[in-house]
Amino acid sequence: MKAYPDTSFLCALYRLQANSPDAAAYFGAMPEPLEVTSLLLYEFRQAVRFQIRLHRNDPSKGYSRDEGAKMLADLKADLVSGDVVTVPAPWHQVHLAAERLSEWHTDACGHRSMDILHVATAIELGATHFLTFDANQKKLAEAEGLTVPI
């Protein structure tokens, strides 16, 4: 079994929210490191930075600077320890797979570009499991034969 996450899984892993216990339990039980790509890391870090900005402009939204900094530091610690590892993706094949997924599924289900890219990446990396808490992305992953265990 090889699992690949999306940003919703990383957010649940690094910020306390309703799905955090499920993310932590799955991550803790993994026999191998969690594989991520540079694209996934970029999207997660960008999302955290954007939430910090939202919070600065409206404290009822987003994450505080301290909370966001802790999320990024915890991710960095997992990367340094090897619990999370960055793997290279075959980006040309990922983009071809993403184009196919977009053509086959977007009109019917309304998938977003990054969601399609994450599922395509999982497929091209040979993942059998896709880790997401996004219901629409779960539909796409399952339609492509990936198991969504959480």
pLDDT above 70 as % of the chain: 100
Task: Go through 51-76 and write b for each residue having 16 or more CB atoms within 10 A of its CB, e for each that does not.
Answer: bbeebeeeeeebbeeebbeebbeebe
Residue 83 CB coordination number (10 Å) = 14
Is 84's pLDDT higher than 90? yes
> Residue 111: pLDDT band by 50, 70, 90 thresholds?
confident
The pLDDT tens digits for 16-72 are 999 999 999 999 999 999 999 999 999 999 999 999 999 999 999 999 999 999 999
Average pLDDT for 115-128: 97
pLDDT above 90 as % of the chain: 95
pLDDT at 107: 81
Average pLDDT for 74-103: 97
pLDDT at 106: 86
Instruction: Please name each of the domains of the chain with its CATH number.
Output: 3-86 (3.40.50.1010)
Residue 56 host element (H or E): helix 38-57
Q: Report CA 77 to chain centroid distance, whole Å.
A: 17
Instruction: State how far the Cα of 98 lies from the Cα of 91, in Å rounded to an integer.
Output: 10
pLDDT at 68: 96
Cα within 13 Å of Cα(53), Cβ side = 6
The pLDDT tens digits for 7-17 are 999 999 999 99
Between strands 129-131 and 34-36, the pairing is unpaired
Residues 6+ apart with CB under 8 A from 120: 94, 95, 97, 98, 101
Average pLDDT of the residues of the chain: 96
pLDDT at 1: 73
